[in-house]
Amino acid sequence: MDKEKVRTCIEEVGIIPGLRLFSADDARFAADTVARAGIPIVEVTMTVPGALDVIADLTAHNSQMIVGAGTVFDLETARRCLDAGASFLTSTGLDVAVVAFAVKAGVAALPGALTPSEVLAAWKAGADFVKIFPCAQVGGPAYIKALKAPFAHVPLIAAGGVNQQNAAEFIRAGASALGIGKDLIPQEAIQRRQAHRIEELAHRYRAMIKTARAALAQVS
């Protein structure tokens, strides 16, 4: 999918569901479920068994779904993810070489970062978004707000510990999007194939983001 479309969709939807599951079938079920609930974006982490096959399968069977690769820590993995059809590359840490590779390949780069120095390095390398991880554990929304003061022009994704209690706060603090894993896709719901439960959570998170953004618009 075109890089600009990927970036626009992430900004509009505001949620990147992280698929950190135990089988390829679980990952496919989760991806299809969140897409039906209005979140046509998934991050398939490299910890999922057969992750590359999952990426290839999802991209082949749903052209409207943005399928990204997560936990990408080296160039070889990055190459294999793009060959499988990934539309964006992300990680929980910063590897400037992987960012540069994504930029050259014309796909969105969402590197992980934590410190101001890492945020600056990621942005200078050409990142489309910078994923702040682990966010909740180092100050949560207050940390995002602190980073947005000097990095107002850098779109930040809050990831790590995002849940129903703090999701809206992260948006109000300045996060462009949220990376959410088990709090959107509970393992129990996957095991029991409770699509309705995941869909309800997806609707809740979307409503929270919409409300938080509306409040921001009123302030500005």
Span 122-160, pLDDT tens digits: 999 999 999 999 999 999 999 999 999 999 999 999 999
Give pTM, 2 decimals: 0.96
- The rounded Cα 77 to chain-centroid distance in angstroms is 18
Are 156 and 164 contacting, i.e. CB atoms less than 8 angstroms apart? no
Among candidate residues 125, 127, 181, the one with its CA nearest the CA of residue 158: 181
Q: Please, what are the domains in the chain?
A: 3-219 (3.20.20.70)
- Per-residue pLDDT of 192-202, as tens digits, reads 999 999 999 99
Among candidate residues 61, 69, 2, the one with its CA nearest the CA of residue 28: 61
Question: From CA 55, how far away is CA 1, in angstroms rounded?
Answer: 13
- Per-residue pLDDT of 2-27, as tens digits, reads 899 999 999 999 999 999 888 889 98
Question: From CA 204, how far away is CA 15, in angstroms rounded?
Answer: 12
63: confidence class by pLDDT, cuts 50, 70, 90: confident
Are 62 and 2 contacting, i.e. CB atoms less than 8 angstroms apart? no
Are 125 and 100 contacting, i.e. CB atoms less than 8 angstroms apart? yes
